[in-house]
Amino acid sequence: MPRPIPGDRSDLLRGIPRELRPLLAAPSRRSVLRGGMAAGVGLGVAACGTGGTTDDTGGDAGSDPSASLTPASDDSENDPTLNFANWTLYIDLDDEGSTSPTLVEFEEETGIDVEYSEDIEDNNTYFGRIQGQLANGQDIGQDIIVFTDWMASRCIRLGYVQELNDENLPNKENLLPNLQEVDFDPGRRYSLTWQSGFGLLAWNRELVPDGLATLEDLWDPELRGRVEVLSEMRDTIGLIMMSQGVDLAGDWGDDEFAAALEVLEEQISNGQIRQVRGNSYADDLVSEDAIAVIGWSGDIVALNFETEDKFGFAIPESGGTLWSDNCLVPIGSPRKSNAERLINYYYDPAVAARVAAYVNYITPVDGAREAMEDVDPSLVDNQLIFPNEETLSTVSVFRSLTPDEETRYQADFQRVIGN
């Protein structure tokens, strides 16, 4: 059952678009998973310790994923193990927060031992750690990695990932129609979506009692030094561009990007923005080092389950971002078939519904909404998991960049944020 948000609802909803107010009534994901699910043994959460150098220029124009690098030989039949690197707060966990019930059941069904690690802080940082090994076709110690569309695109162009075998992925047919054809991976030969979500505004309800309705509200002098924005360029710059009237998915170029970057640079230099962060912005919200942020939808819901609904969140009036993260098998993985079995498992609608009930991100699996009736019927119309057309009309996908744009824009962004 949903856990009511404490306090006067009218106060909490001030400044939040009416059509998005149901987003604040998400039920407790732990209550969804409590009872009737296998607890099993704990899964390790340790860094993979990979090295390598980074190339922030993104110089990958003209790369052919079928050229130069040879995929590792698949030894899955003799090696029933699997290493899976993901972002934080991105899979179902038991009440102790140490074990994923769905992963345990996969292990029991298949006999494959899974080492799951929350290694990914942001796309650029993780890519920098593994790029040197990927470029040499080496095993990075992970068999599944999860990257956002644009970084998945880069890895595919560079030939850093293995082509998937559809014979091992019968549940691929459950991929939502709107995700089946993407410009960076025609036919979904190399990637399958893990989850999708929104880039939006979030705030500490006690310390920012009036909430945030517009991107400009982040620049209120009363918040100076306690604002954080994401190190994911497309979310932070994307929200700024939308506040300036730019259609993210449309026809824009250098001038529009530069105008948004100028705003970011000003707010960093004048001390309004405390830090530019990856996933660790969530820790700063909890510690109250940050009280207003550009963040990710599911993260804020996850934090609210642990902090008595301490944080408000909303898609800004000018619009939010919509993105997807994708499962990829690195070029040096010697356990591709094992990886495909796990990806296929998570495309079972019943399994996908259980993950979505916990992480509160948009599930990519057709049929998961119907399966949610058996997991928690109160989530069937939750707009963070199964957004309708009205909600989707308030967000936009950052258009694909050319390799040249990627090089220049990312370099300019990194310069401004001090990396």
pLDDT tens-place string over residues 51-108: 233 333 444 444 455 458 999 999 999 999 999 999 988 999 998 878 999 999 999 9
Q: Which residues have C-beta within 8 Å of that of residue 63, sequence separation ≥ 6?
A: 157, 158, 159
| Domain topology for 9-28+197-322+395-417 | D-Maltodextrin-Binding Protein; domain 2 (3.40.190)
Tell me what percent of the residues of the chain surpass a pLDDT of 70: 84
Domain boundaries, the chain: 9-28+197-322+395-417, 30-193+326-366
Quote the tokens at residue 42: 């704990």
pLDDT value for 63: 47
Please state, in angstroms and rounded to a whole number, the distance separating the CA atoms of residues 311 and 286: 9
DSSP state of 205: T
Higher pLDDT, 54 or 188: 188
User: In terms of pLDDT, which residue wins out, 49 or 241?
Assistant: 241
The CA distance from 178 to 187, in Å, is 12
91 contacts 350 by C-beta, under 8 angstroms? no
Which pair of structure tokens corresponds to residue 130? Answer: 């593994």
Q: How far apart are CA 231 and CA 281, in angstroms?
A: 10
Give the E-state strand segments of 223-381 in sequence order. Answer: 227-230, 273-277, 292-296, 311-314, 320-328
Residue 162 contacts residue 336 (beta carbons within 8 Å):
yes
Q: Which residue has the higher pLDDT, 36 or 102?
A: 102
pLDDT in tens, 227-271: 999 999 999 999 999 999 999 999 999 999 999 999 999 999 999
- Better-predicted residue by pLDDT, 245 or 12: 245
For the chain, the average pLDDT equals 85
Q: Percent of the chain, pLDDT > 90? A: 77
Choose the weakest-confidence range: 160-164, 220-224, 378-382: 378-382
- What CATH superfamily is the domain 30-193+326-366? Periplasmic binding protein-like II (3.40.190.10)
Distance CA 268, CA 276 (A): 9
CA gap 33, 358 in Å, rounded: 8
The strand pairing partners of 120, in sequence order, are 87
Per-residue pLDDT at 119 exceeds 70: yes
Pick from 30-44, 132-146, 176-190, 350-364: least confident: 30-44
> d(Cα 242, Cα 316) in Å, to the nearest integer?
9
Across residues 189-215, what is the average pLDDT?
97
Q: Which two tokens stand for residue 304?
A: 């609210």
Q: Is the pLDDT of residue 1 over 80?
A: no
Task: Pick 419 or 25 by higher pLDDT.
Answer: 419
Q: Say whether pLDDT at 325 is over 50.
A: yes
Question: d(Cα 9, Cα 16) in Å, to the nearest integer?
Answer: 12
Q: What angle do CA 148, 153, 159 make, to 5 degrees?
A: 125
Model confidence at 306, pLDDT cuts 50, 70, 90, reads confident
Beta carbons within 8 Å of 10's beta carbon, 6+ residues apart = none
Distances (CA, A) of 232 to 11, 278, 347, 376: 31, 7, 27, 32
Report whether 390 contacts 398 (CB < 8 A): no
Residue pair 121/94 in contact (Cβ under 8 Å)? The answer is no
Neighbour count for residue 207 (Cβ, 10 Å):
13
> Tens of pLDDT along 159-183?
999 999 999 999 999 999 989 989 8
Judged by DSSP in three states, 167 sits in helix
Predicted confidence at residue 2, as pLDDT, reads 24
pLDDT score, position 305: 84
Burial of 289 (0-12, 13-18, 19+ CB in 10 A): middle
pLDDT at 100: 96
State which of 25-29, 50-54, 349-353 shows the largest mean pLDDT: 349-353
Residue 130 — pLDDT band, cuts 50, 70, 90? very high
pLDDT at 201: 98
Q: What is the pLDDT of residue 148?
A: 94
Following DSSP, what letter does each residue of 318-349 receive, concatenated? T-EEEEEEEEE-BTT-S-HHHHHHHHHHHTSH
**Is 359 in contact with 304 (CB distance < 8 Å)?**
no
pLDDT at 67: 57
The pLDDT, as a whole number, for residue 17 is 38
Do 9-28+197-322+395-417 and 30-193+326-366 fold alike per CATH?
yes
Distances (CA, A) of 416 to 256, 411, 413: 16, 9, 5
Residue 319 has pLDDT above 90, yes or no: yes
Give residue 91's identity as a one-letter amino acid code.
I
pTM: 0.79
pLDDT for 47 equals 25
- Which of 50, 41, 45 lies closest to 115 in space, CA to CA? 45
Query: Which residues are bridge partners to 227 per DSSP?
Result: 273, 292
Q: Could you tell me which of 417, 362, 366, 353 has the C-alpha nearest to residue 384?
A: 362
- Residue pair 153/58 in contact (Cβ under 8 Å)? The answer is no
pLDDT at 180 (0 to 100): 92
Region 175-200: mean pLDDT is 94
